[in-house]
Amino acid sequence: MTAGGGASATVAFTGARAGEAPLTWGQRLMWRAVHLMGDSQSFLNCPWVLPVHGRPDLGAVLDALRLLLERHESLRTTFHDTPGGPVQRVARDGTLVVDLVDAGRERALQVAERLAGEMSGTVFAHGTDLPLRCAVVTRNGRPKALAFTFSHLAVDFQALSLLSAEWRGLLRGEHPPPVEWQPMDQAGLEREEASQARSARSIRYWRSVLEEVPLDVFDHAPREPDDPRFIEVGMESVALAAAAERLAERWTVSTTSVMLAACATVLAVVSGRDRAVMQLVHSNRRDPRTRAMVGTVGQDGLFVLDLPRTGFDAACQAAHRAALTAYRNAHYDPFAMQAMREEIGRLRGREPDLDAFFNDRRGTGAWPSLPRVAREDDPARLTGKTRTYVVDAWPGVRFKAFFTLGTAPDTAQLSLIVDTAYLPQDTARAMLLGVEALLVRTVAGDVPMAEVPRVCGVTAYGR
């Protein structure tokens, strides 16, 4: 490793093997998304920050980074379109140029977060670039944090959590055992008969839903969109996290199920329907071999929630069951899935619009470092600290409604991307606050479904 004039350093790596394989199903999903989004595919980039624990020098930090590159084949993979279909190519040897940035008077982690965001704004050239960019943030020459952006073709957010867990040990000089399962191995598994049969079962389930699901996310006609048309409204709320944790414990489900139930219920109310149909971004890591694999495994599940006539308690239990059904049927060849969806489109006149999503990006499914809220305290008292804001505009994104649970460590971070031709900014903000209000109110007791619009402060839009 050699420093480059104080502004950069070069990390040379040599992995255990090189090779070429078809894309995994998770990579195929991202490959299609990358090409559909074109110049806006930077939306799919994954910013990430790793703190530098202890007081290692720059050489030790760069050596730990080298080990990450050598251990995980996805970090030294390029992606190529070939006459036989897209493939992944793993390089055994190579170099990564790392920027060195002095934090000055700012907090190093804040600088790293800003750098990660800035690096994520640039599209990867997947055929030539390594699927990550990195900068080391220093103070007085000593490294304090690493800023990354990764291509979603190489990692998902579960993979980033795996890298974070490994990072501290590598800085201490530990040598974990070799990684036994890599994306090339996963690609081989997915070509076997058992995996193909599982794919066929999942596609049959999706087909049964798509044959009768509404063709549109919303019944109302589009209006004149805002400029920019696509926006992301964000919310940070400790009250939301406290209420979700309380309800998850009460109902013996995950906080993901609680949040999904609330988002789906609010979406159903705003759409003026008794049913919510959403795609769930699912980690797909129940196989023990994939739990330690750094790669893109996640795929979309198809979630259908029919709102009960009783209350939100029953809606959450129904959402939990529906999510399990969606997860069981989220293992499939995306190319075969797309062929089925196109066939449905020919039979029904056009493909059903499934542009409503829910994605839990929390790698652990929890909120670390939340402020302590006593059991006897009412989460409603925390709502005064909730803030909402417009995060960004995505000109190439075509989602009508996309809920995302964020990765902020000390609060619940929920955002909603909307197409303003269908939902204006004020409605998106009201939907986020409605999710918070519904969960906070349910802590005190079940909310009858007839009361949900009043409690959430939302009604059917365009009616």
Residues 313 and 439 in one domain: yes
Mean pLDDT of 121-149: 96
Q: Which pLDDT score, from 0 to 100, does residue 441 have?
A: 97
Assess if residue 196 is contained within a domain: no
Closest-CA residue to 463 (of 294, 228, 218, 239): 218
**pLDDT of the residue at 135:** 97
Host H or E run for residue 166: helix 157-171
- Whether residues 175 and 265 share a domain: the answer is no
Helix axes 312-328, 238-251, angle to 10 degrees: 80
The pLDDT, as a whole number, for residue 3 is: 42
Name the DSSP class of 154: T
Instruction: Count the Cβ atoms, other than its own, within 10 Å of residue 6.
Output: 10
Question: In terms of domains, do 350 and 305 share one?
Answer: yes
pLDDT at 4 over 60: no
Same domain as 345, residue 276: yes
- For residue 463, what pLDDT band results from cuts at 50, 70 and 90? low
Return the structure tokens found at 406: 């964020």
What confidence score (pLDDT) does residue 412 get? Answer: 92
What pLDDT is recorded for position 2?
42
What integer best gives the mean pLDDT of the chain?
93
Locate 218 and state its tokens.
Answer: 């919303």
Residue 195 located in a structural domain: no
- In DSSP terms, 4 is beta-bridged to 8
**HEC profile for 273-312?**
CCEEEEEEEECCCCCHHHHCCCCCCCEEEEEEEECCCCEH
Residue 377: the pLDDT is 80
Question: Could you tell me if residue 197 is inside a domain?
Answer: no
Q: What is this structure's pTM?
A: 0.87
The pLDDT of residue 157: 86
Q: Do 138 and 89 belong together in one domain? A: yes
Domain count, the chain: 2
Q: Cis bond leading into 228, ω under 30°?
A: yes
Question: Taking 50 as the threshold, does the pLDDT of residue 46 lie above it?
Answer: yes
Q: What are phi and psi of 299, to 5 degrees?
A: -140, 170
Domain match, 269 and 120 both? no
CA 457 to chain centre: 27
Does one domain contain both 301 and 182? no
Chain-centroid distance of CA 448 in Å reads 31
Q: In this structure, are 184 and 304 located in the same domain?
A: no
| Helix or strand (DSSP H, E) at 438 | helix 425-444
What pairing do the DSSP bridges indicate for beta strands 77-80 and 401-405? unpaired
pLDDT of residue 461: 86
Both 344 and 445 in one domain: the answer is yes
**Rounded to whole angstroms, what are the CA distances from 430 to 196, 358, 435, 459, 460?**
43, 17, 9, 10, 12
H helical segments located in 272-333: 288-291, 312-328
Rounded Cα–Cα distance for residues 198 and 175 (Å): 36
Q: Which of 174, 189, 204 is at the close of a domain?
A: 189
What is the DSSP-derived secondary structure letter of residue 448?
A: B
Looking at residue 369, its pLDDT comes to: 81
Instruction: Assess if residue 134 is contained within a domain.
Output: yes
pLDDT of 37 reads 82
Residue 347's pLDDT band (cuts 50, 70, 90): very high
Assigned domain for 54 exists: yes
Cα separation, 22 vs 189, in Å, equals 11
Confidence of residue 396 (pLDDT cuts 50, 70, 90): low
Structure confidence at residue 195 (pLDDT)? 96
Of 261-275, 276-290, 318-332, the poorest mean pLDDT is in 276-290
Tokens (6 digits) for 213? 């699901």
Closest CA to 396 of 30, 33, 31, 150: 33
- Reported as half-sphere exposure (CB side, CA atoms, 13 A), residue 304 has a value of 10
Q: How many helices (H) and strands (E) does the chain have?
A: 13, 16
Task: Give the domain CATH number at 389.
Answer: 3.30.559.30
Q: Is residue 461 part of a domain?
A: no
Provide the residue range defining the domain that includes 172.
2-189
* Spatial separation of the C-alpha atoms in residues 356 and 354, rounded to whole Å: 6
> Do the beta carbons of residue 357 and residue 282 sit within 8 Å?
no
Tokens, residue 347:
């039979």
For residue 58, pLDDT over 50 is answered with yes
The residue out of 154, 189, 224 marking a domain boundary is 189
For residue 166, name the pLDDT band (cuts at 50, 70, 90): very high
Closest CA to 115 of 126, 104, 128, 129: 104
Inside any domain, residue 283: yes
Same domain, yes or no: 300 and 400: yes
Check whether residue 143 and residue 265 sit in a common domain: no
Q: Which residue has the tokens 């519904």?
A: 438
Please say whether the beta carbons of 192 and 24 come within 8 A.
no
Question: For residues 256 and 360, is the Cβ–Cβ distance under 8 A?
Answer: yes
Domain at 138, CATH number: 3.30.559.10
How many C-beta atoms lie closer than 10 Å to residue 14's C-beta? 12
Say whether both 239 and 359 belong to one domain: yes
Domain annotation covers residue 117: yes
Task: Specify which residues 301 forms β-bridges with.
Answer: 280
Q: Indicate the range of 32-36, 73-77, 144-148, 389-393 predicted with least confidence.
A: 389-393
